[in-house]
Amino acid sequence: MTAQPSLDPSKRQELLVEGMLRHLALLDDANASRLSWAAFWDLRTKLAKAELEWTTLSLTMCRLLFALSCCHQPRSLLVLGSHVGFAAAWLLRDRADGRCGAPVQSFDGVDPDRSANVRARRNCELLGHVGCTRIHDETGQSFLGRNRGAFDIVLIDIDEPVAGKAAYAELLKLASPQLSPGALVLGHDPLVPRFAEDIAAFHEAIETDPSFEGPWVLPVDDCGLTLARRR
Amino acid sequence: MTLCGQRQTEPASDEILPASITRPATVLGICASAKPPLGSTMRSAVRGYLLHALRPLARSSPPVQLLDLRESPLPWFDGRRPEAVDDPNVALAVHAVRSAGALLLGLPGYWSAIGGVFKNFCEVLAGPAYDLAGEPTVFAGKRVGLLVVGADAPSTSAAARQASVIMGSLGARLVAPPVEVLNPREIRSEEQLEALERALLGLAAATLVASRRGETA
């Protein structure tokens, strides 16, 4: 009889996320100490107190966003299509928890949905991010047209009622001058069939811009996550 | 934000679907072990470790699948191209390999070499090398993770080297160095098991990332 590994499913999902980030050279021995899964679970407990929509991201996707933030240590974060702030919460981590390195210093959430933004502001307050957070009632195009920033992580997750994800490629181009060296660009939903054309255009925009590495599509759930890196 | 329809819980089921003639797999696991013999309750270490690596990927999209060459045995290679062989298991294997985003191959190493099931699988699916004159095989451009479980250390190392060379000659590319399990019977301590788990999931993760990379880069 041969012995079989017997770690629990949660630990295995964590090792899977770690394995993906190691394969992409985003996690190594130098930054591994900043990835604390105990901090992940503590944050999850804290998020349960906020009025977030728990069904919008799978648990593995939450792990992936959290781990990307721990490994990359962004100082500035931009989320286009921030909705009530659930995805952003995993990228922001817990400011009071020192196990995952330095907290994010600046977070811009952008969404034309004013009612969602009201909840996003309330959630950021509940989670202690109010001092570093700006939630903007506008489209990503409008925000990027007037803003001059240097973002370390940009998450694109807009979902317009008719146009869907058609603006992903345009938003990438608009955000491109506002990315710091080595910045990560994340795009949610690359695997959703109804967005296939929009996502193909987004990926082509990344591939044809020599200043980016990628894209990589991480198919961890039905939605998936696209990842690209500014050289 | 798109609703994924997935609850904030761990997967309730980590069942791996069998290889399909109609649906592509993100990652196709291939078990190249014919063990155990019919009627035996003995377990195959190759299959056990391969399934262990695949299960955390059960929620990937599209789902991972398993082509088990014990359940879907191939005929011996007799010099024909795969499309000339009238055998449903050959058709299934060709389709599953061709449509998969990446392959995670588990194979045994015996007597200082790869197991025969694996070699026959490669020959049947790739066809007669002498007639193909550079034609790409069904493996061309495929990203492949290799898991080699040996009867002893020399057999494992030899099989890992051979399998890597064979995959290269078929046009496939390894996503990472092969994971070599030198002798499963000597894995006893918790530390050894955790190291094995990390290696298996690291290989699964690399294969998962590579499964979608080919589409866009």
Option in B26, B57, B185 nearest A2 (CB): B185
Residue A42's nearest CA partner among A86, A104, A90 is A90
Say what the pLDDT of residue B167 is.
97
Q: Tell me what the mean pLDDT of segment B115-139 comes to.
A: 91
d(CA A186, CA A215): 9
Residues from chain A that touch B26, judged by Cβ atoms under 8 A, are 219
Higher-confidence residue: A17 or B186? A17
Nearest CA in chain A to B183: A2
The alpha carbon torsion through B173, B20, B217, A194 (nearest 10 deg) reads -170
- The number of C-alpha atoms within 13 Å of A178 and in the hemisphere containing its C-beta is 21
Q: Is A119 touching B (CB cutoff 8 A)?
A: no
Lowest mean pLDDT among A167-171, B37-41, B51-55: B37-41
d(CA B8, CA B22): 30
Give SS3 for A16: helix
Q: Is B213 touching A (CB cutoff 8 A)?
A: yes
d(CA B105, CA A15): 20
Probe site for chain A from B44, B52, B192, B209 (most A CB atoms < 10 A): B209
> What confidence tens digit (pLDDT) does each residue in A35-65 have?
999 999 999 998 887 766 655 688 999 999 9
Say what the pLDDT of residue B13 is.
59
Higher-confidence residue: B217 or A71? A71
Residues from chain B that touch A119, judged by Cβ atoms under 8 A, are none
Measured CA distances, B13 to B55, B92, B201 (Å)? 9, 25, 18
d(CA B166, CA B5): 41
Q: Is A213 touching B (CB cutoff 8 A)?
A: no
Helix (H) or strand (E) run with residue B7 in it = none
| A12:B6 CB<8 A | no
Locate A171 and state its tokens.
């938003």
Q: Is B24 touching A (CB cutoff 8 A)?
A: no
Measured CA distances, A200 to A2, A97, A218, B168 (Å)? 45, 38, 15, 30
Q: Is B9 touching A (CB cutoff 8 A)?
A: yes
Q: What is the ipTM of this complex?
A: 0.87
Please tell me the distance in Å from A198's CA to the nearest CA on chain B: 14
Say what the pLDDT of residue B213 is.
63
Say what the pLDDT of residue B61 is.
82
- φ, ψ of residue B141 in degrees (nearest 5): 80, -5
d(CA A68, CA B82): 44
Residue A226's beta-bridge partner residues? A187, A217
Q: Is B194 touching A (CB cutoff 8 A)?
A: yes
d(CA A83, CA B121): 50
Probe site for chain B from A1, A2, A7, A63 (most B CB atoms < 10 A): A2
Residues from chain B that touch A88, judged by Cβ atoms under 8 A, are none
Nearest CA in chain A to B194: A5
Option in A2, A10, A20 nearest B208 (CB): A20
Average of per-residue pLDDT values in chain B: 89
The answer, yes or no, to whether residue B12 has pLDDT greater than 60, is: no
Confidence class for position B180, pLDDT limits 50, 70, 90: very high
Residue B111's nearest CA partner among B148, B147, B151, B165 is B151
Option in B26, B52, B185 nearest A219 (CB): B26
Say what the pLDDT of residue B67 is.
97
Size of interface A-B (CB pairs under 8 A): 157
| Region of residue A128 (phi > 0: left; psi between -120 and 50: alpha; otherwise: beta) | left
